[in-house]
Each structure stands twice: as C-alpha cells, then as structure tokens.
Amino acid sequence: MAIKLLTPYLRSLICGVLAIVFCTACSSLRAPSVSEVISKSKQPETPKEVLQNIKIAIDNHLISKNEFYSEENLKNLFGGTYVTLSTNGIEEKNAYISGYDNMVEPIQLQNTSIPSLDITLSMHKKNGRVDGNLHFIIRKSGAFPDMPASVEIFGSDWQENPEPTSPHEIFSKGDSPYGNERIQYLKDGEMPNKLNIEFNGDGSLYRIDYTEEKND
C-alpha cells in the first residue's frame, strides 16, 4: 500500500534496490563454480601453497566435479608441469600430476629419476552416487611441512586415525614428537568425506588420502 503512494520513479528505484539485494543474497548462498574457484586461487610455488590449494579443492568439493578435470584446471590449482588425464565420458575421470622438481628434487635411483611428489585424482559415477578421491605422496622426508603446519592448514578438528596400518608398511626413523603420526578428519551430512594424513619419522608430511561422495 505504501509503495503505491510513491511516485513511479521512487517505486522503480526501491524495486531495483530490492532486486539487487535479493540477487546478492542468492549469489552468496550459491556454491562457487569450478571456474570461479580456480580464478580466485594462486598457482602454488611452495610446498605449503600446494597443501593450501588441496584444502581449497576439498572445501569446494572439486574432486567429485566432472568439469574440474582439465589439464588447465589441475595445473592452475595444484601446480606441477605434467598432467595425464584419462576419461570414460562423464562417468569416470582420472588424473595424474607430477613435475614438482622445482619444489622437491627427484630421487635418483641408479640411472632412473623418480618424482619425489605426485598427486592422483579420480571421480566415478555409479548408481546415482559420485565418488571423488585424491592421493598425495611425498617420497622425500623433510621436504614438506610438519604436523603442526599441516594442522594449521587443514584444521584442528582432527582425531587419531583408528584404521589399522598395513602389515607391510615400513615406518621411517626419527625423533620428532610427531614422528609416524596418523591423523584423520571426518565429516558427515549430505556430502560425507574423509581425510587421512600421515607423517614421516621426522614429523614431515608423507601422505594425504581424501575421499568424498555425493548424490549425482
């Protein structure tokens, strides 16, 4: 009733402002697209920045999104100079990222050079569900941040990993209070996920395993 008493100009102005406010509120509730996340992220140049960008991928559930799997996206978010992609339509995506020699020197084994760091990702659709997986491994002890630095990135709401270790696993030696520590992050809800992090004997990061699932 009050709006009807206003001049046409004021009614138009008020309606325009309300439309902007409404659209802004809707945008703030909408999950950012893959391209938006990538455009706001910095290509990592240090080990710490690689971990920060893995956290970005986890927070935005990129691992289980079909459109995330392109060479450009993977290089921009995770760094690395080599990306190998395999696909089965939109039902399955697999990616392998390596080429971090500028951060971590490769391991020399006789006449062979083995990457010290690589990242493997996959996405699978089946029976109305989508599963995303990320596997990160650093084969050179001491090259990546220790447990306190990793927890600073991934959060303090971790717990001891209750899952049994492989009987074939060989623990590295070291006197760090965080040596050979295994921690886990769990999240339930519409998109349950699990993040496992393991550390070397000297307390430095060794491996990250992450899984998430959602309805298709």
Spatial contact of 121 and 133, defined as CB atoms under 8 Å apart: yes
In the three-class reduction of DSSP (H, G, I as helix; E, B as strand; rest coil), residue 85 is classed as: strand
Q: Is residue 37 part of a domain?
A: no
Q: Is residue 39 part of a domain?
A: no
Return the pLDDT at 190: 63
HSE-up (13 A, CA, CB side) for residue 162: 4
Q: What is the pLDDT along the chain (216 residues), one digit of tens a residue?
A: 444 555 655 555 555 544 444 444 444 457 789 999 999 999 999 999 999 999 999 999 999 999 999 999 999 999 999 999 999 887 899 999 999 999 998 888 888 888 899 999 999 998 889 999 999 999 888 878 889 999 999 999 999 987 766 554 555 667 788 888 999 999 876 667 999 999 988 889 999 999 999 887
- How far is Cα 86 from Cα 175, in angstroms, rounded to an integer? 41
Q: Is residue 157 part of a domain?
A: yes
Tokens of residue 131, six digits: 């599963």
**pTM metric for this prediction:** 0.81
Question: Residue 203, class by beta-carbon neighbours within 10 Å (0-12 exposed, 13-18 middle, 19+ buried)?
Answer: buried
Edge-to-edge order in the sheet of strand 129-138: 82-88, 92-98, 117-126, 129-138, 205-215, 193-199, 182-187, 159-160
Q: Is residue 9 part of a domain?
A: no
Tokens of residue 116, six digits: 């010290």
- As for how many domains the chain has, the answer is 1
Spatial contact of 195 and 185, defined as CB atoms under 8 Å apart: yes
Q: Is residue 195 part of a domain?
A: yes
pLDDT tens, residue by residue, 49-86:
999 999 999 999 999 999 999 999 999 999 999 999 99
- How far is Cα 172 from Cα 201, in angstroms, rounded to an integer? 5
Q: Is residue 40 part of a domain?
A: no
Who contacts 32 (Cβ-Cβ below 8 Å, separation ≥6)?
40, 60
- How far is Cα 72 from Cα 132, in angstroms, rounded to an integer? 19
Return the pLDDT at 17: 46
Tokens of residue 71, six digits: 């060479």
Return the pLDDT at 188: 77
Nearest-Å Rg of the Cα atoms of the chain is 22
Return the pLDDT at 187: 85
Q: Is residue 1 part of a domain?
A: no
Q: Is residue 116 part of a domain?
A: yes
Nearest to 117 by CA among 147, 141, 148, 95: 141
Q: What residue numbers bound the domain in which 142 lies?
A: 46-215
